[in-house]
Amino acid sequence: MKKIGLVGGISWTSTLDYYKYINEGVNQKLGGLESVECILYSLNFADIQRKGWTNSFDLIYDACKSLVSSGVDAIALCANTAHLFADEIQSRINVPIIHIVSSTANAIKKDKLRTVGLLGTKFTMEMDFYRQKLEENNIAVLIPEGKTAIDTIQHIVKEELGKGIVTEKSKKQFMQFSEQLMERGAEGIILGCTEIPMLIGKDDFTVPVFDTTKIHVRSILAFILDTEKPTAG
C-alpha cells in the first residue's frame, strides 16, 4: 500500500470526509484492521481567508513540500479551489498530485455528458483553471447567472458549510440554482466544492450528480491500492 499526503483544513469539515472515505475504501478492499497510511498537513483555513485564495500559493506549496519531505508517494489537495495552484505545484515537486478536476472529467465522460452545471466557490466557478480543465475534455460548463447567485453560494460555502452548519433554507437555494442550470441545458451537476455534499447529493436529483469528494477519493484509492495510475493534471 502506498503512502498518501493530504493537504487538508480547507476546510476541516470536508477533510473529515476525505479521511473517513479513504480509510473505509482501504478497509473494504483489504479487510481486517487495514487502514490507510497517510500524512495530513492541515492548514488553518483562516490564514487562506486572510490572504485570499489568489495570494495563497505559498501556503499550499509549503504544505506540499513538507509532505514530499516526509516521504509520501503522492499528494491530494483536499479542496477544489486549491487546484488553482495544482499545475504550478506539480511542476515543482517530484511526486504526482492526484487532480480532482481530471478525475471529475473522467467520471463525466464515462456518463457521456457534454454539458454540465458547476456549483462551487466563487473562485472555482469564475476563474479559468476549473473550466479549462473540463473544456480540454470536451465538456461545456455552465455556472449560475448573476452576481447575487454567485455571492449567495460563496456565503453558504464559506460561512455555513465551512463551519459545519447545514440549513434547509440553504439547501433550497442550492436546489433552485441547480434547477436553473438544468433549464439552461446542464445534463448533470458538479458539486465542485468538497463541502457542498453536506447540503445536497445525488438523491436530490434526476440527472447525474458528480460529488467531487467521492470521485477524488476513488482516484486516491486507486493509487494507494495500486489498481491504476493516478489521475494527475
Q: Is the pLDDT of residue 179 over 60?
A: yes
Please tell me the distance from the alpha carbon of residue 22 to that of residue 29, in angstroms, as a whole number: 11
Nearest to 193 by CA among 134, 90, 118: 118
CATH level 3 topology of 4-99+214-224:
Rossmann fold (3.40.50)
**Non-local CB neighbours of 205 within 8 Å, separated by 6+ positions:** 178, 189
What is the number of other CB atoms lying within 10 angstroms of the CB of residue 207? 16
Q: What does the chain come to in residues?
A: 233
Q: Is the pLDDT of residue 233 over 90?
A: no
Give CA separation, 139 vs 84, 97, 183, 197, in Å. 19, 22, 17, 22
Find the range with the poorest average confidence among 25-39, 46-60, 218-232. Answer: 218-232
Nearest to 84 by CA among 138, 49, 126: 126
CATH for 101-211? 3.40.50.1860
Q: What angle do CA 200, 79, 143 make, to 5 degrees?
A: 55
Residue-level pLDDT at 194: 80
Domain ranges of the chain: 4-99+214-224, 101-211
Mean pLDDT of 137-146: 95
Residue-level pLDDT at 127: 86
